[in-house]
A and B are shown apart, each in its own frame.
Chain A
Amino acid sequence: MAGEADASQAKGALDGIRVLACTQIVAGPFTGVVLSDFGAEVVKLEPLEGEAYRASGAVIPNEGKRFQSLNRGAKSLAIDLGTPEGREAVHRLIPGFDVIIINYRPGVPERLGLDYETLAALHPGLIYCSITGFGEEGPWADRGATDLVASAYAGLIAGDEKIHPDGSPEQMTPAISDYVTGLACAASIVAALYHRKETGKGQRIDAALLRSALAIQDFYVMRQDVTDVLLRDPMLEGVRKLRAAGGTYQDVLDARRAYRWAGAGPPRLYYTGYNCADGSIVLGCLTQATRAGARKVLGMTHDESDDEGFDPRLPENVEKVSRWKEDVAAKFREKPVAYWLEVFGREGVPIAPVQLPEELSDDPQVAALGAMVDFDHPVTGPQRVVGPITRMSETPTRAYRPAPALGEHSDEVLAMGGFSPEEIAALRQQGRVV
Chain B
Amino acid sequence: MAEQPHHPESRGPLDGVRVLAATQIVAGPFAGVVLSDLGAEVVKLEPPQGEGYRNSGSVVPGESKRFQSLNRGSKSLAVDLASEDGRALVQRLVPGFDVFLTNYRPGVLRRMGLDYDTLAALNPGLVYCTISGFGEVGPWAGRGATDMVAQAYSGLLAMADKVGPDGEPQQASPAISDYTTALACTTSICAALYERKESGLGQRIDGVLIRSGLAIQDFYVMREPVTDAVLRDDMVARVNEIRARGGDYREVTEARSNARFAAAGPQRLYYTGYSASDGQIVLGCLTQATRDGARRVLGMTEDVTDDDGYDPNDPENAAKVVRWKAQIADLIQAQPVQYWLDAFIAEGVPVSPVHIPEEMSDDPQIEALGVMVDLEHPVTGPQRVVGPVTRLSRTPSRAQGPAPALAQHTAEVLRAAGVSDEEIAALRERGVVR
Contact = CB atoms under 8 A, between A and B. Distances in A.
The answer to whether A and B interact is: yes
15 contacts: A14-B191, A38-B187, A150-B352, A152-B281, A162-B160, A169-B275, A210-B366, A217-B360, A219-B70, A224-B383, A235-B358, A282-B148, A348-B144, A355-B154, A357-B156
B212 interface: yes
A328 B352 CA distance: 40
Nearest to B12: A191
Contact of B152 (A206, A215, A348, A355): A355
Interface stretch (A378-386, A411-419, A426-434): A378-386
A5 interface: no
A99 interface: no
Contacts of B149: 282-284, 350-352
Interface residues of B, number: 177
A276 to B, nearest CB: 10
Interface stretch (B81-89, B301-309, B390-398): B390-398
B183 A184 contact: yes
B154 A282 contact: no
A218 interface: yes
A420 interface: no
B389 interface: yes
Given A152-B281, A160-B173, A13 B195 contact: yes
B144 A149 contact: no
Interface in B205-233: 205-208, 210-212, 214-228, 230-232
A214 B374 CA distance: 15
A235 B359 CA distance: 11
B218 A354 contact: no
- The binding surface of chain A is classed by DSSP as mixed
A205 B392 contact: yes
Contacts of B184: 34, 183, 389-390
Contact of B69 (A144, A194, A218, A358): A218
Interface in B117-154: 133-135, 137-141, 143-154
Contacts of A265: 56-57
B102 interface: no
Contacts, number: 578
A226 B59 contact: yes
A358 to B, nearest CB: 6
Interface string B273-307: 11101111111111100100000000000000000
A214 B133 CA distance: 24
B185 interface: yes
B395 A192 contact: yes
A206 B208 CA distance: 28
B59 A230 contact: yes
Contacts of B155: 355-360
Interface stretch (B42-50, B243-251, B418-426): B243-251
A372 B155 CA distance: 15
Contacts of A335: none
Contacts of B190: 187, 190-191, 193-194
Contact of B223 (A176, A248, A361): A361
Given A180-B180, A226-B380, A390-B188, 7 more contacts: A160-B172, A168-B329, A171-B282, A211-B391, A357-B155, A368-B139, A383-B223
Interface stretch (A57-65, A82-90, A302-310): A57-65
A274 interface: yes
Contacts of B353: 152-153
B187 A190 contact: yes
A273 B368 contact: no
Interface in A387-409: 387-395, 397
A280 B220 contact: no
B386 interface: yes
